[in-house]
Amino acid sequence: MTRRLLLGCSAVGNALVEHARDERGERDDLVAITDDTGWVSTLRDRNVATVEADPSDPETYPDSAAVVLIASDDPERNVAAARAARAAYPDAMIVAHLGTTPTDEQRAAVAAVADRVVDPVEAVADRVFEAVGLDGERGPAGGSAAGAEASLTDEGGREKPARLLATLRGLSGPLLIVAHDNPDPDAIASALGLARIAASIGVDADACYGGEIAHQENRALVNLLDIGLRPFDDIDLDEYAGIALVDHSRAGINDSLPEDYPVDVVVDHHPPRGPVAGSFVDIRPAVGATSTLIAEYLSRYGIAPDRELATALLYGIRIDTKDFTRATAIDDFEAAADLLAHADESTLERVESPSVSPETLRVLAAAIENRDVRGSVAASCVGEITDRDALAQAAERLLDLDGVTVTFVYGYIDDVIYGSARARGADLDAGELLRDALDPVGSAGGHAAMAGAQVPLGILSEVSKSESLPDVVEAFVAGRFFEALDDAPVQPTGLPAEFSTD
Ligand SMILES: [Mn+2]
């Protein structure tokens, strides 16, 4: 029998599913109905039995349900689903999420049929105040988390927005804004936003980054929005009178500056792991994204972000908070709501599904074609490659295969074998697995959900003329990989639970 039924899905519905798992360790008695194909695949990936159908259509409902969770983002649809659920299950406990900006009428309509109505804004506000109350002491970078309302004021009662401008004005020349290495959207957008703030008071600023802009979504962001971020290698530090760090807080740690290089401005949301230097420091670990802080400053200064900047900041917040499902503060919701009015949603759509290079498609095709699936683990050798990024993307996409929870895609370029692994909903640590398999012959690292490895091709030097290199690479890597898998302490769980309505 179905005990719990999820009607419609959203970030909130998804969090409920996560919560249900934390509480019970399994979700066998949970059935979800949503017509949002994205959530359908996400839920199925998490082993939630999911029906792709209109959540307000009782035709598809299971025979019984003890608890019904209504959780789409659309208040109108939540009203329809709540009414249909009440009609279908007169005795069920109905918990309804209102959705985004419900009208008073919709609020009343849901309240009339549901046993409990969840207002996410109120719920989040409570949590944030609770977190802030418990978090009075934040380590060396004073001024943070003194309370949500007081967050723009420091201990001395001086307003941070005024101090930031004073610091920028006090510079005797241009400002260099440094994003952390291999910048993510939050770092990119924050650097851009701080440059805009500097420009508003006539301070010249350049934004730069070290490493590379690696994910194709991030490259799409930079290209589509024509973001002028300069590689650190092109920068002459002597040309700048001041340094600002965004989305990280210490020079030389995760950026390309020399260690302990003097810093003027720090804006970040990561708890610092050591002493932070800088004449102006704003670090607020309770907030989900640096972009939120930058958006707040813009709004305080009355600077309306242009389309590019608003779009980038909104994307930064969405990525860092995983669409408001992780480490999200009320400030993040508020900043996102403000930015939405200025952002370009069609560009965001293109950023999120960027056009794919022929090489990426070729690697993906090879990964699917050559896959070696054992249980819920798929490994695939794609032969010679020209773009290492394609491996990670192929590993990600292979996770979409039915019943697959761990993937490993590898190929070689410039005398090195590279591999990328992904795990989702598996009781197996991808990082551990790759370390066991390939560290002894190369190097491997990563964490449970995402890992990578590289092995010098030279290790296979005894390839004879009659053997093909891809075959030899495959035999060698797959051999080690599956051997390590057999020795792994916890085996991956089986196939996703079948949907059943009984
Ligand atoms: Mn960030």
DSSP string across 391-448: HHHHHHHHTTSTT--EEEEEEEETTEEEEEEEESS-SS-HHHHHHHHHTTTSEEEE-S
CATH number where 73 lies: 3.40.50.720
d(CA 272, CA 3): 44
**Same domain assignment for residues 127 and 155:** no
Contact 241, 174 (CB under 8 A): yes
Distance 349 CA to ligand 1 centre (A): 21
What's the CA-to-centroid distance between 287 and ligand 1, angstroms?
Answer: 9
pLDDT digits (tens, 9 = 90+) for 37-71: 888 888 888 788 899 999 999 998 998 888 888 98
User: What is the arrangement of strands in the sheet containing 265-268, beginning at the earlier edge strand?
Assistant: 230-231, 205-209, 175-179, 242-246, 265-268, 280-283
Lowest mean pLDDT among 132-136, 160-164, 333-337: 132-136
- Say what angle helices 290-301 and 330-340 make with each other, to 10 degrees: 60
Q: In what helix (H) or strand (E) does residue 34 lie, and over which residues does it extend?
A: strand 30-34
Q: Please indicate, yes or no, whether residues 207 and 263 belong to a single structural domain of this protein.
A: yes
User: What average pLDDT score do residues 21-28 get?
Assistant: 54
Residue with tokens 């908070």: 321
* pLDDT 10s digits, 135-168: 333 333 333 333 333 456 555 545 788 889 999 9
20 C-alpha to center of ligand 1: Å? 28
Q: Is the pLDDT of residue 115 over 90?
A: no
Measured CA to CA in angstroms, residue 489 lies from 249, 432, 436, 447, 486 at distances of 38, 10, 11, 16, 8
- 336 shares its domain with 366: no
| In a domain? residue 307 | yes
**Is 25 a member of any domain?**
yes
Q: Is residue 99 part of a domain?
A: yes
Q: How much is the pLDDT for 494? A: 44
Contact (CB, 8 A) for 180 and 254 = yes
Ion ligand 1 — residues with CB under 5 Å? 186, 247, 290, 320
Domain shared by 159 and 188, yes or no = yes
Residue-wise pLDDT tens digits, 298-323? 998 889 999 999 999 999 999 999 88
Query: In the listed set 295, 320, 352, which residue is the last one of a domain according to the structure?
Result: 352
Report CA(332)–ligand 1 centroid distance (Å): 12
- CA–centroid distance, 291 to ligand 1, in Å, is 7
Please give the Cα distance from 13 to 170 (Å, whole number).
48
Please indicate, yes or no, if residue 247 is contained in any of the structural domains.
yes
In contact, 296 and 331? CB cutoff 8 Å: yes
**Residue 248 CA to ligand 1 centre (angstroms):** 8
30-34: strand order across its sheet: 49-52, 30-34, 4-7, 67-70, 93-97, 116-118
CB distance 21 to 43 below 8 Å: no
CA of 290 to the centre of ligand 1 (A): 5
- Work out the angle at residue 354's Cα, subtended by the Cα atoms of residues 352 and 356, and round it to the nearest 5 degrees: 140
Cα(22) to ligand 1 centroid in Å equals 26
Distance 285 CA to ligand 1 centre (A): 10
Report if residue 195 sits inside a domain: yes
Ligand 1: distance of its center to the CA of 364 in Å? 30
Same domain, 217 and 332: yes
84: pLDDT confidence band, cut at 50, 70 and 90?
A: very high
> Are residues 449 and 409 part of one domain?
yes
Q: Is the pLDDT of residue 500 over 50?
A: no
The pLDDT assigned to 363 comes to 93
Pair 342, 420 in one domain: no
Q: Please, what is the average pLDDT of the chain?
A: 84
Q: Residues 193, 89: one domain? A: no
**CATH number of domain containing 380:** 3.10.310.30
How many angstroms does the Cα of residue 179 sit away from the middle of ligand 1?
A: 10
CA distance 155 to 146: 8
If asked whether residues 61 and 107 sit together in one domain, one would say yes
CA of 223 to the centre of ligand 1 (A): 20
Residues 160 and 273 in one domain: yes
Average the pLDDT over 335-349 and give the result: 90
Cα 288 to averaged position of ligand 1 atoms, centre (Å): 7
The boundaries of the domain holding residue 188 are 151-352
Structure tokens at 369: 């074609």
How many residues would you count in the chain?
502
Pick the more confident residue, 387 or 231: 231
The total of structural domains in the chain comes to 3
Give 183 Cα–ligand 1 centroid separation in angstroms.
9
